[in-house]
Chains A and B, each alone.
Chain A
Amino acid sequence: MPRKPEDSPALDQPAANRRNFLKGAALSGAAALTPAESQAATPVPQQIKITPPGPRQLAADTHPPEADPVNQSSSGGEFMVDVLKSMDIDYMVMMCASSFRGIHEAIVNYADNRKPEIITTAHEEIANAMAHGYAKMAEKPIATIFHGTVGVQHASMALYNAWCDRVPILAFCGNIIEADKRLPGAEWVHSAVDPLAMVRDMLKYDDQPASLQHFAESAVRAVKIATTPPMGPVMLSLDAELQENPIENRAGLRIPKYTPVIPPVGDPGALAEAARLLANAENPVIIVDRMTRTPAGLERLVAFAEALQCAVVDTGGRMNFPTRHPLNQSQRGRAVIAQADVILGIEMNDLWGQLHAHSDRVHRSDRGVTRAGAKVITLGNREMYSKSNFQDSARFQEADLTIAGDGESSLPLLTELVKKAVTSDRKSAHEERGKKLGAARLAAVNLAMSDATLGWDASPVSTARVAAELYAQIKDDDWSLVGSAIRFNWPQRLWNMDKKHRWNGGSGGAGIGYNAPAALGAALANKAKGRLSVAIQGDGDFMFVPSTLWTAAHHRIPLLYVMHNNRAYHQEYMYLQAMAGRRGRGATKAHIGTTLTDPNVDYATVARGMGIYGEGPITDPKELGPALKRALAVVRRGEPALVDVVTDQR
């Protein structure tokens, strides 16, 4: 129905209030948008009189009420910072966002950017992966913070990796709970009724505090839960009003005392039974994955293995056992597992996968690789906390004895019980077993060295050559391998990895985009210890999170990235090839969708563009050693560097 011109509001009346002014403007706008319709009803064009708003109208639109304060002497954000200080949180890794501007400002000014110090990233995935790598290396969590909704979604991949890897992160997001406090536009789409619902399956604990006292208690509770094995990320949603508004009664607020939780030791009776079985076994094998939490963990495992003189297979979830220890049988794990009569799995995520072979063929099948009657014992906290949706539990492995308890904490008692259980006649047999294992390990090392000679002078550079050249440059430092690429296990085969900080484990969730930022987080932890951090960096992983380099430069975090540039998501390339072969077709098109060529990425230029030293691409293996030496000189003076090496696929 066309409107009559006389229906338009009187815009020139001085008494018109703000709402009517806007309404009128909207209506006249609507009229202006339907000229054809208006002309059809009223062929004579109508002139609409528009008068600018008068002084009263302008005041109503631009000035707040006189009673509305513009200054405040305290903020909830400041109290939140006090809570973080009470728990010795060193860093707050962030992707800046207005929904947490209240606590952000409190950190930089109230806390003078100390405890926590802000680490700036350009993506929430980078922030959380940095916290992931840091926590494993430093053995303590740091905090991250990002937007509600959009930030949580960006962060979710890194949170998933941390969840699967059982690593603590104290994560926060901003949110504006009260709808009438949200500005039109972005604040609505950045708010949620329950912003943590999207990631709850990846969190060990979460909350949305409704008061500052609630925040204090929930934050301390969160850190205690996060750092109790099995560890995991925790997250609090912080209401913007709670962060920004003045503190009404600071004297009435109390920060609860933070005390770390002592991890549980396994039941003594069950450990004694395990010790009896192990002491009397002919060929016991220890398999470990995510066991070592502190340097003591590695030392305890050495003492335990030596008490038994038995094989140890380290699957690399953490730096559990020295690579050059005579009892380290990790490179011949399948062989020792096949001979074992008692198998002890400690903090294993996928014990089934170690005890079975699985065929990825048209009809998938599997078979056990253990000998008949082999006893299986598990020690760890796998069953103590779990969730159901994400299938990171791996396939169920039955066991003869399942001991709930923290592996690292339980080892001293287990070692003492083993020593008591080993009789003098068994002791000599054990020593003989240890000698045989030592000889077998030497043979495995010789084979690894022989394997490494294959393709030594080839171009693209062999991955073995990369590892050997890098080790030559760092072996005399207190080095730390803070990250590596998929299937790049040459350091474990060739290097002397003898301390907990020599290796920081993998991603947990196999989520690409982990390695570059997690390595940087670990390097940040190493910086305080004066260690030399190096990382093997897959090109595909790097392409997810290239701005990690900018964060490295900005915060001057010393770390050498050695780019394992095989110009492909190569695992996927091989899978596509397998599909084609299965269907009687060739692999000539397997590069489609799986490779990073045409154009080739010049990672050294990318590095320089992000503000760090970059060199490469290195295609001649003879040029690699000198290039690494130059880059490491940069790292040793406290800055990050990257050397791009064009490598063979694996």
Chain B
Amino acid sequence: MKVLKYALLAAVGCLTFGLGSPSFAQQSAGDAARGKDKYMAVGCFTCHGRSGQGGALNYPAPALVDLPMPADALAAFLRNPVGDMPPYAAAVLSNADVADVLSFIKSLPGRKDPKTFPLLNQ
């Protein structure tokens, strides 16, 4: 539910910022290796974990592996986030950077079936 809300807000932001332009869409196929460096450098990992598993600041920070939004929507969201999420100006995280970060997030292993983890079934 929360993720959907973010996506909706991001979509609104996308219109506001005009980020849905073809030029940005063309950039949205980012580079995962560059994205990992950026993910660490700008501090995404501090709240959302190095594996995108989520975390907490004042309130829980969602797991990014569940992130359903496209790069342009994510960029719009990052410029004007909700809750305690800090904003990321384009000077800090460009649209190209966002695409790279998203590629990195998509490259993460993601969720697995917990039933296959004996340590999680105690």
Contacts and interface: CB of A to CB of B under 8 A. Distances in A.
Contact of A580 (B65, B86, B109, B117): B86
Interface string B41-67: 111011101111111111101010100
A649 B55 contact: yes
A581 B88 contact: yes
Contact of B42 (A359, A468, A469, A587): A587
Contacts of A472: 119, 122
B53 A462 contact: yes
Nearest to A581: B86
A626 interface: no
A475 B53 CA distance: 25
Contact of B111 (A454, A464, A571, A649): A454
B5 interface: no
Task: Give chain B's interface residue range (CB within 8 Å of chain A).
Answer: 35 or more
Interface stretch (A11-19, A252-260, A443-451, A600-608): A443-451
A452 interface: yes
A331 to B, nearest CB: 10
A110 interface: no
A360 B55 contact: no
Nearest to A590: B43
A83 B112 CA distance: 61
Contacts of B59: 357
Contacts of B87: 581-582, 584
Contact of B45 (A446, A453, A457, A649): A649
Given A449-B120, A451-B53, A464-B53, A586 B86 contact: no
Contacts of A462: 49, 51, 53
Contact of B86 (A446, A571, A582, A648): A582
Contacts, number: 129
Given A468-B119, A494-B120, A585-B92, A648 B114 contact: no
B83 interface: yes
B115 to A, nearest CB: 8
A588 interface: yes
Interface in A432-479: 446, 449-458, 460, 462, 464, 468-469, 471-472, 475
Interface in A571-603: 571, 573-575, 577-578, 580-582, 584-588, 590
Nearest to A467: B119
Contact of B110 (A357, A454, A458): A454
Contact of B49 (A494, A582, A588, A649): A649
A648 B120 contact: no
Contacts of A358: 58
Contacts of B121: 449
A270 B84 CA distance: 40
Given A460-B50, A494-B120, 15 more contacts: A449-B117, A449-B121, A454-B53, A454-B65, A455-B51, A456-B117, A462-B49, A464-B53, A468-B117, A468-B120, A575-B57, A586-B92, A587-B92, A588-B42, A649-B49
Interface of B: 41-43, 45-47, 49-59, 61, 63, 65, 83-84, 86-89, 91-93, 108-114, 117, 119-122
17 contacts: A360-B84, A446-B114, A449-B121, A450-B111, A450-B112, A451-B54, A454-B53, A454-B63, A454-B110, A455-B49, A456-B117, A571-B57, A580-B86, A586-B42, A586-B92, A590-B46, A649-B47
